[in-house]
Amino acid sequence: MKLILFDIDGTLVDSGKQPRLAFAEALMEVYGETGDIYNHEFSGKTDPRIMLDLLTEAGRTREEVVAWLPSARDAYLDRLDEILHRDRMRILPGLPGLLDALAARDDLALGLLTGNFERGAKIKLSRVGIDGYFAFGSYGDDQFDRNDLPPVALERAHALLGRRFDAADAVIVGDSLLDVACAKAHGLKCLAVSTGWTSAEKLAAANPDWLVDDLTAVADHEAFGS
């Protein structure tokens, strides 16, 4: 069995500016400042890493940021749940058709490998009706750095499915340079997709195993082979 581990933002959905606004309001509520949030690069980072980087760059200590992180997380997720509207979101090309095709196969298991907090992932995916495709995953709650998420996903797949998985059994599908780097760090394959904020040229330069423009008509792609 092969594990297909999907990123969310820029890979499955485009949530527009709403998550960034929720971040800004949460950081202001908890820390009294937002850092340079409207110029900060979010792509591929975990949610706690974004918070930590924004505030340490603004002069806060790591210890101070981490101490209040649970409060900031909860404030962000509550605000995201309030403001994230389906009509301002976009499910990306090829979906949910690809998910339907892959979920119908008994040789694949679909999971998430995302920097989103777990609750945030569920909020975003439920808004566009695709949360039910993913039975396990690793999230921003688990680690600060994306490169530390693959072992978590493999262990959760083991707990769910009752068998061990290693790097050769998994493919990451993502739109950012950090998705590619994360896969390489652990010897996983990576299908990069240029539907996010990173150009196809930059993704190609990172040397993913495969690169596609979007997830349209890729159900038979080599990346999903047994």
Could you give the C-alpha distances from 175 to 113, 119, 170, in angstroms and in order? 12, 21, 17
Q: Answer with the one of 83, 112, 127 that is the final residue of a domain.
A: 83
Per-residue pLDDT, 177: 97
**d(Cα 144, Cα 211) in Å, to the nearest integer?**
26
Q: Answer with the one of 55, 83, 111 that is the final residue of a domain.
A: 83
One domain for residues 116 and 140: yes
- Domains in the chain, number: 2
For residue 16, list its beta bridge partners: none
One domain for residues 115 and 216: yes
Domain of 26 in residue numbering reads as 18-83
Tokens of 2: 């092969």
One domain for residues 200 and 110: yes
One domain for residues 70 and 105: no
What's the CATH code of the domain at 9?
Answer: 3.40.50.1000
**d(Cα 103, Cα 134) in Å, to the nearest integer?**
9
Q: Answer with the one of 36, 54, 83 that is the final residue of a domain.
A: 83
One domain for residues 78 and 134: no
Q: What is the mean pLDDT of each run of 10 residues along the chain (226 residues)?
A: 98 94 96 94 94 96 97 98 89 97 98 98 97 97 96 98 97 98 98 97 98 97 92
One domain for residues 77 and 178: no
One domain for residues 7 and 58: no
For 77, what's the count of Cα atoms within 13 Å in the CB-facing half-sphere? 18
Per-residue pLDDT, 178: 96
One domain for residues 36 and 61: yes
One domain for residues 8 and 74: no
Per-residue pLDDT, 88: 83
One domain for residues 41 and 77: yes
203: CB partners within 8 A, 6+ apart: 175, 177, 180, 192, 194, 211
One domain for residues 106 and 136: yes
Per-residue pLDDT, 184: 97
One domain for residues 157 and 205: yes
What's the CATH code of the domain at 31?
Answer: 1.10.150.240
Q: What is the pLDDT of residues 43-99, one digit of tens each?
A: 999 999 999 999 999 999 999 999 999 999 999 999 999 999 878 899 999 999 999
